[in-house]
Amino acid sequence: MKHRTTAILTTLALTLSPILGACGSLSVPVAESRSDISTGDRPMTNEDLKWWQDTIAYEIYVKSFKDSDGDGYGDINGIISELDHLKRLGVGAIWLTPCYVSPQADNGYDIADYYNIDPSYGTMEDMDRLIEEAGKLNIRIIMDLVFNHTSDQNEWFLESASSKDNSKSDWYVWADPREDGSAPTNWRSFFGGSSWEYCESRGQYYLHTFLKEQPDLNWENPEVRKALCDVANFWVKKGVGGFRMDAITYIKKPAEFKDGTPDAGDGLVGIHSMTANTAGILDYLNEFKHTVQDGTDIFTVGEANGVSSKDLPDWVGENGVFDMVFEFGFVDIDLPDESNWCATRAWTLPDFKSIFTASEKTTSQPEINGWYPMFLENHDQPRSISHFLPEGADRVSGGKALGTLLLTMRGTPFLMEGEELGYVNVSWPSIDDYNDISTKNHYKFAIEEGYSEEEALAGVHRFARDSARTPMQWDSSENAGFTEGKPWLPVYDDYKTVNVDSEMADPDSVLNWYIKLSELRSAHRELVDGRYEELFHDDEKIFAYIRENASRKAIVLINFSTESASFDTSVVENAELLISTNDKSQKGTLAPLEAVIYEEVIVSL
Ligand code: TEU
């Protein structure tokens, strides 16, 4: 099957604020006092760590990583050819975005066949070879399990939709129309418009949390749950190292389908508020955990929008349904409550720090003994330099500053491809240059709401998912060495200088800083197994914290501002400078965007 363009502009009425409002987040309480923000009651010993806690994970957007056959789409053989790049970064787990057979309405998050690879990405033999070749380098493959929904081209759905009376008639979420023929409820899908689509052959509607091409599976049906566990077990048998569970908080629907209070002029209500984390969901996820994970060494990380900190003991750690969950509190920090792309919310560094600290504190409680998946970017988010640093921040210093945070917080760092090169957002001149359906829909809504094209485009430049999806830049040749054909999405025009080859040759590059930090994690184990404690919480420029185990204490200080910043040197009184982004680093002052790590030896080994 060939890739189809994803530029499917829906004619459905869109409302932006509820769409963004529906992007719920795992909200965690802000630490209340100084004594509140130390995490991890006991330093862990290395033997306590599981393999996935002592490694670096790397997200590959398969379509954009490396094209081996010149069709303009990244593929599995391309990944195999670049494993050395990941090895030198110290990567031990590769999260592959979905590369199963898919019509690509949502770039692979619409799966037509969980048991086969999309031909544009390669074959199952290529995948087996990837698992094997990566394995030789001690790198495990993490599959993205999209289990809330399938593609409308999946044969499960085709059968289910064919009549009311077939062996899979109850595999999806079907409901009768209201008396007037309209949709069963007023729920709005994530990507805009009603979350119900009418199906002639059944005279019924089916539910779709995302696009209409992504019908939701009916997890109430034990046959569906078994079929999904079978899929996961198929991949476990292939030797993968774990799973990222897509949009997992939406799998359980309420017992009764009822209208919600409209939250916008279209009379609809965001589906997130109606279905996220519905009671009973944990039973399904526990069943999945025991059927798939028991007796294996794989890990799971859930994309868990709608789980709050009070729920965490059920969601992560030894008794939780997953090993880790991605939280979105900090990535959504600049979205106003009643939000849209044309009005962002101001935030401060203490706000940002509080979110991490509270998450660290909650997950590391002894009764949870959980672990944090540290990330600043993924394929749905803006690039972190553009997202979290002041406008005009130097790309190289900024990339190193954020890389320091990413690689020294307590948890497994998840890097997004290109982040290690210091990618920034693309700012293409027209909405037509963009590919992502969600971006196009948000833009359309902004225009309908009366924003000017310029204002709407400014929003696109800030938040478009395409910024995280442009092709990987390998060298300064045409198309950055990504493809010999025409790339499916344009290569960013900074590729002549921002690319793997150039950055490898430059000792001061962002990439070499990432490699240094990765090596530092191997030699200075407190950066991996140490407890976390925040310092200088109220400081508006510096993000500072301690990572400490029984023998050493690292003190990490990162200046998030483009001005110099001073700090109280008593925290580094007995410590030596381990590394700094500034070769003239001074105790007590950080240059703009400088990141430093000091270390104090507690017990000489
Ligand atoms: O995303 C689901 C999802 O909830 C995110 O869009 C989330 O709201 C956002 O990141 C918070 O800021 C997943 C995939 O990551 C996304 O690419 C797919 O489009 C979506 O599921 C549908 O499968």
Residue 445 binned pLDDT confidence (cut-offs 50, 70, 90): confident
Sheet holding 324-326, edge to edge: 324-326, 299-303, 242-245, 140-145, 91-96, 56-60, 412-416, 373-375
In Å, the largest CA–CA distance within the chain is 78
Between 386 and 369, whose confidence is greater? 386
Q: Is 333 in the pocket of ligand 1 (CB under 6 A)?
A: no
Query: Ligand 1, residues 150, 246, 301: which to mutate, most atoms within 8 A of Cβ?
Result: 246
Of 222, 214, 276, 271, nearest in space to 251 by CA = 276
Which ligand 1 atom is the nearest neighbour of the CA of 272? 4
Pairing state between β 412-416 and 56-60: parallel
Pair 419, 56: CB distance under 8 Å: no
Of 293, 265, 290, 260, nearest in space to 276 by CA = 260
Which ligand 1 atom is the nearest neighbour of the CA of 211? 22
In one letter, which amino acid is 601?
V
Which ligand 1 atom is the nearest neighbour of the CA of 380? 10
Q: How far apart are the CA of 38 and the centre of ligand 1, in A? A: 31
Nearest CA to ligand 1 atom 18: 109
Q: Write the pLDDT tens digit of every residue in 130-172.
A: 999 999 999 999 999 999 999 999 999 999 999 999 999 999 9
At 354, phi and psi to the nearest 5? -60, -35
Q: Write the pLDDT tens digit of every residue in 508-523.
A: 999 999 999 999 999 9
CA gap 96, 60 in Å, rounded: 5
Q: How far apart are the CA of 368 and the centre of ligand 1, in A? A: 26
pLDDT above 70 coverage of the chain, percent: 91
Q: Is 292 in the pocket of ligand 1 (CB under 6 A)?
A: no
Of 550, 535, 561, 565, nearest in space to 603 by CA = 550
Nearest CA to ligand 1 atom 8: 23
Q: Is 334 in the pocket of ligand 1 (CB under 6 A)?
A: no
- Judge whether residue 465 has pLDDT over 70: yes
Q: Is 246 in the pocket of ligand 1 (CB under 6 A)?
A: yes
Q: Write the pLDDT tens digit of every residue in 39-61.
A: 444 344 456 799 999 999 999 99
Pair 436, 6: CB distance under 8 Å: yes
Between 461 and 448, whose confidence is greater? 461
Q: How far apart are the CA of 26 and the centre of ligand 1, in A? A: 14
**pLDDT value of position 28:** 27
**pLDDT value of position 265:** 75
**pLDDT value of position 47:** 60
- Judge whether residue 459 has pLDDT over 80: yes
Q: How far apart are the CA of 439 and the centre of ligand 1, in A? A: 12
Q: Is 146 in the pocket of ligand 1 (CB under 6 A)?
A: yes
- Judge whether residue 12 has pLDDT over 50: no
User: To which residue do tokens 């957002």 refer?
Assistant: 425
Q: Which two tokens stand for residue 102?
A: 């898919």
Between 573 and 318, whose confidence is greater? 573
**pLDDT value of position 328:** 86
Residue 605 binned pLDDT confidence (cut-offs 50, 70, 90): low
- Judge whether residue 2 has pLDDT over 50: no
Q: Write the pLDDT tens digit of every residue in 297-316.
A: 999 999 998 887 778 889 99
Q: Write the pLDDT tens digit of every residue in 548-566.
A: 999 999 999 999 999 999 9
Which residues share a beta bridge with 199?
204
Q: Which domains does the chain have, with CATH numbers?
A: 6-37+537-601 (2.60.40.1180), 55-146+225-255+270-530 (3.20.20.80)
Which ligand 1 atom is the nearest neighbour of the CA of 250? 4
Of 411, 358, 602, 417, nearest in space to 521 by CA = 411
**pLDDT value of position 341:** 67
Cα end-to-end span (Å), the chain: 58
Q: Is 599 in the pocket of ligand 1 (CB under 6 A)?
A: no
- Written as one string, the DSSP assignment of 324-359 is EEE--TTTTTTS-SS-BTTBPPP--HHHHHHHHHHH
**pLDDT value of position 338:** 44
Of 449, 453, 391, nearest in space to 425 by CA = 391
Q: Write the pLDDT tens digit of every residue in 421-439.
A: 999 999 999 999 999 998 9
CA gap 90, 139 in Å, rounded: 9
Nearest CA to ligand 1 atom 1: 247
Q: Give the CA distances from residue 247 to residues 255, 326, 515, 529, in Å, rounded to whole numbers and listed in that order.
A: 20, 11, 32, 29
Pairing state between β 531-535 and 187-188: unpaired
Q: How far apart are the CA of 247 and the centre of ligand 1, in A? A: 6
Query: Ligand 1, residues 303, 344, 345, 416: which to mutate, most atoms within 8 A of Cβ?
Result: 303
Q: Is 331 in the pocket of ligand 1 (CB under 6 A)?
A: yes
CA gap 436, 443 in Å, rounded: 11
Nearest CA to ligand 1 atom 4: 247
Q: Is 14 in the pocket of ligand 1 (CB under 6 A)?
A: no
If one counts every other C-beta atom within 10 angstroms of the C-beta of residue 267, the result is 13
- Judge whether residue 403 has pLDDT over 80: yes
**pLDDT value of position 340:** 60
Q: Is 513 in the pocket of ligand 1 (CB under 6 A)?
A: no
CA gap 303, 463 in Å, rounded: 19
Output the CA torsion 490→494→496→498 (10° steps): -110
Q: Is 23 in the pocket of ligand 1 (CB under 6 A)?
A: yes
- Judge whether residue 37 has pLDDT over 80: no
If one counts every other C-beta atom within 10 angstroms of the C-beta of residue 182, the result is 13
Pair 458, 446: CB distance under 8 Å: no
**pLDDT value of position 195:** 97
- Cα atoms found within 13 Å of the Cα of residue 326, Cβ hemisphere only: 25
**pLDDT value of position 337:** 53
Q: Write the pLDDT tens digit of every residue in 197-243.
A: 999 999 999 999 999 999 999 999 999 999 999 999 999 999 999 99
Pair 241, 93: CB distance under 8 Å: yes
Query: Ligand 1, residues 26, 96, 109: which to mutate, most atoms within 8 A of Cβ?
Result: 109
Report the sign of the C-alpha dihedral through residues 435, 441, 447, 448, in that order: positive
Q: Write the pLDDT tens digit of every residue in 47-104.
A: 679 999 999 999 999 999 999 999 999 999 999 999 999 999 999 999 999 999 999 9
**pLDDT value of position 154:** 98
Mean pLDDT of 434-451: 87
pTM for the whole thing?
0.92
Which ligand 1 atom is the nearest neighbour of the CA of 149? 23
CA gap 464, 501 in Å, rounded: 27
Which residue numbers are catalytic?
A: 246, 303
3-class SS of residue 171: coil
